[in-house]
Amino acid sequence: MLHGKNILLVISGSIAAYKALELARLLRKAGATAHAVLTAGGARFVTKEALAGITGQRVHDDLWAAEAEIGHIRLARLPDAVVVAPASADLLAKMAHGLADDLASTVLLATRAPVLVAPAMNPAMWEHPATRANLAALRARGVAVVGPGEGAMAEPESGPGRLSEPAEIFTAIAALLAPAGPLVGRHAVVTSGPTHEPIDPVRYIANRSSGKQGHAIAGALAALGARVTLVSGPVVQPDPRGVTVVRVETAREMLAACEAALPADIAVMAAAVADWRVAREADQKLKKQPGAAAPTLEMALNPDILATVSAHAQRPRLVVGFAAETETVVQHAVAKRARKGCDWIVANDVSGDVMGGDANAVHLVTAAGVEDWPRMPKADVAARLAQRIAEDMA
Nearer to ligand C5P, 21 or 364 (CB): 364
Burial pattern 30-46, b for ≥16 Cβ within 10 A else e, equals: bebbbbbbbbebbbebb
CB 190 within 8 A of CB 246: no
Amino acid identity for residue 2 in this structure: L
| Residues of the chain by 3-state class (helix, strand, coil), percent to 5 | 35, 25, 40
Q: Which is nearer to ligand C5P, 165 or 259 (CB)?
A: 259
Three-state DSSP class for residue 269: strand
**Residue 150 or residue 371: which is nearer to ligand C5P going by CB?**
371
Q: How far apart are CA 269 and CA 258, in angstroms?
A: 10
Residues listed for the chain = 394
Residue closest to ligand C5P, measured at CB: 305
Q: At what angle do helices 18-29 and 48-55 cross, to 10 degrees?
A: 10
- Shortest distance (Å) from residue 210 CB to ligand C5P: 14
State in angstroms the smallest separation of the CB of 341 from ligand C5P: 11
Q: Smallest gap, in angstroms, from Cβ of residue 270 to ligand C5P? A: 6
User: Which strand (E) or helix (H) includes residue 363?
Assistant: strand 362-366
Q: Are 321 and 362 in contact (CB under 8 A)?
A: no
> 367 exposed, middle or buried (CB, 10 Å; 0-12, 13-18, 19+)?
exposed
Smallest gap from Cβ 323 to ligand C5P, in A, equals: 5
Strand duo 266-269 + 318-325: pairing: parallel
Cα-Cα end-to-end distance for the chain: 25
**CB of 251: closest distance to ligand C5P in angstroms?**
5
By beta-carbon proximity to ligand C5P, the closer residue of 16 and 306 is 306
Active site residues: 207
Between 19 and 277, CB nearer to ligand C5P: 277
Cβ nearer to ligand C5P, comparing 106 with 302 = 302
d(CA 277, CA 249) in angstroms, rounded, equals: 12
Distance of closest approach, residue 253 Cβ to ligand C5P, in angstroms: 12
Please state, in angstroms and rounded to a whole number, the distance separating the CA atoms of residues 143 and 246: 32
Contacts to ligand C5P by CB under 6 A:
191, 251, 269, 271, 273, 275, 302, 304-306, 321-323, 336
